[in-house]
Amino acid sequence: MSKRLLLGIDSGTSGCKLTVFDFAGRVVAAAAGKYHTDYSGAGYAEQDAIAWWKTICQELHYLIEGQKVDPRAIAAIGIDGISWVCLPVDQKGVPLRKAMIWLDRRAEKQAAWLRQTLGEQELIQLSGNPVDPAYITPKILWLRENEPEVYARTAKFLQSNAFLVYKLTGVLSQDYSQAYGFHFFEMAKGVWNEEMAEQMGIALDLMAPLFHCHEIVGTVSSKAAAETGLVTGIPVVAGGLDAACCALGAGVVKPGQTQEQGGQAGGMSILVDQPLIHPKLILGYHVLPDLWLLQGGTVGGGGTLNWFNQQFGAYEQRIGKDHNKNPFALMSEEAALIKPGADGLIFLPYMAGERSPIWNSKARGVFFGLSYDKTRAHLIRAMMEGVGFSLLHNLKTAEEVNAYVMELISVGGAANSRVWTQIKADITGKTIHVPLSDQATTLGAALLAGVGVGVYPNFTDAVEKTVQIQRTHHPVLENHAIYDRFYQLYLELYQKLRDSFATLARITKQ
């Protein structure tokens, strides 16, 4: 059986996606599974790592048995994962507690200690990233302070993709693209900074060995083969950050190219050839060696409409069922009926605090401008526009360190909405390209695997053979002028509400 397939596994926030590609990037088979996030305490967001593995095993069996994918044809496996995961494991790689994921913001106290004791500017200059409770470093300190018995038993801290790589191969790893979660990782040099780690009281032997994202960590073990239905010996690469794999799958391989993320979360990733540091943005290694991604990561993305659909989408769900139509497609049709600016309704998409560029755990979602003439369609349109404003806020912030964007490549579920994509083009004033495949994240993971085993000689070749653009959205200048006025009000609203958000947090003890 000739090796002709690549498997990409995406361990996302709300679930996993598995896609089998041929070497031309065409989808051969796909599967998806869900898992639960526990929000049991103020600022808590945890997931069971064993549930990740069990769900992926279940979906692999579906691919192999239900969709007749021959595992012997799989040349290599790549895995991506969500960011800023704090997962302590013991010597045998067994999780010692649930993983604190990127949405977890309980470590405010520890983040404040880092800023006050070690100096926020010093930490930013070293790591390239602001000190925020979403990052891994404050979470490790929270664990040491609040669960000392777990911390004492911890052999390694793993990322989500690294844990799944371990389950497949039995080898512990830490890829470069996920190292940006640690504030003792020296971003300019790509090494752990022993002196800074020592000042934090964190032993470097708690870190797994560093691997390039396309580097082969190991091969599928007999134990993993028995659990998954795969065959032994398939090479598994280290993989990387979901946003970085998504950028690769969108075709971002040259400096200046920029990926716009329309998944559960939102944001953008600008490829740069030097470590450009902005204290309000996120900097990490791309999944390509010796290149960086200057990122803006927002809480409000596709998740905003997903929330609306779950809580208020009975109409779209019913109509969609009757007419065999996706409820999100119906929402797009409703939003298209409302003119730019949503007749004066503005949405702040801070549904779980906000990351860049405001970094405020206490911020919350807001509809401003509600009146009796507003309809469900206005709400939907305003939510789409609010996410677009948050994207523009990050792009404008990146310009402060001379990272300029001419065009965007849009991926994720939101990119399937022509209406939403055009709104983003009009708000930002940027041309937006949408790739043919809506599997950019798993494609990026698969391409890492393909480069790792030599299917492609380099990343440029991999993208040229697999990534195609299906449509392009050019900004409508008249709409851009309208949005520019609303954007200024969007910024003003946050500034005026910042103290009120803090008051609300005190009242509700969040």
pLDDT at 1 over 70: no
For the chain, domain boundaries: 302-402+477-508
Ranking 148-157, 168-177, 433-442, 491-500 by mean pLDDT, the lowest is: 433-442
**What pLDDT, on the 0 to 100 scale, is given for residue 213?**
98
Beta bridge partners of 259: 269, 409
Q: Which of 12, 172, 204 is nearest to 102 (CA)?
A: 12
Strand 74-81 with 240-241, pairing: parallel
**Residue range 349-370, pLDDT digits in tens:** 999 899 999 999 899 999 999 9
Q: 424 and 388 in contact (C-beta within 8 Å)? A: yes
Looking at residue 325, its pLDDT comes to: 87
Distance in angstroms (rounded) separating the CA atoms of residues 420 and 262? 10
Give the pairing of strands 266-272 and 292-298.
antiparallel
By percentage, how much of the chain surpasses pLDDT 70?
A: 100
CATH fold, domain 302-402+477-508, is Nucleotidyltransferase; domain 5 (3.30.420)
For the chain, how big is the Rg over CA atoms in Å? 22
Average pLDDT, the chain: 96
Q: What is the mean pLDDT of residues 459-476?
A: 97
The stretch 50-55 carries a mean pLDDT of 98
CB neighbourhood size of 85 (10 A): 25
Euclidean distance between CA atoms 38 and 15, whole angstroms: 13
Q: Give residue-wise pLDDT tens across range 395-426.
A: 999 999 999 998 999 998 899 999 999 999 99
Strand intervals (E) in 135-243:
156-158, 174-175, 185-186, 191-192, 210-211, 216-219, 235-237, 240-241
Q: What H or E segment, with its residue span, contains residue 377?
A: helix 376-399
Instruction: Retrieve residue 199's tokens.
Output: 């000042």
Segment 53-68 shows an average pLDDT of: 98
Is there a contact between 323 and 307 (Cβ–Cβ < 8 Å)? no
* CA dihedral of residues 274, 279, 280, 281 (deg, nearest 10): 20
Q: Which residue has the tokens 């704090």?
A: 86
Can you give the length of the chain in residues? Answer: 510
Query: pLDDT-based confidence at 2, cuts 50/70/90?
Result: confident
Residues pairing with 347 in the sheet: 367
- Report angle CA 124, 129, 134 to the nearest 5 degrees: 125
- List Cβ neighbours of 25 (8 Å cut-off, separation of 6 or more): 437, 443, 465, 466, 467
Mean pLDDT of 227-231: 98
Contact 265, 301 (CB under 8 A): yes
Q: What is the predicted pLDDT for the residue at 412?
A: 85
> What is the rounded CA–CA span in Å between residue 478 and residue 359?
32
Render pLDDT for 148-188 as a digit per residue (tens, 0 to 9): 999 999 999 999 999 999 999 999 999 999 999 999 999 99
- In 283-304, which positions are buried (b, 16+ CB within 10 angstroms) versus exposed (e)? bbbbbbeebbbbbbbbbbbbbb
Query: How many other CB atoms sit within 10 Å of the CB of residue 439?
Result: 22
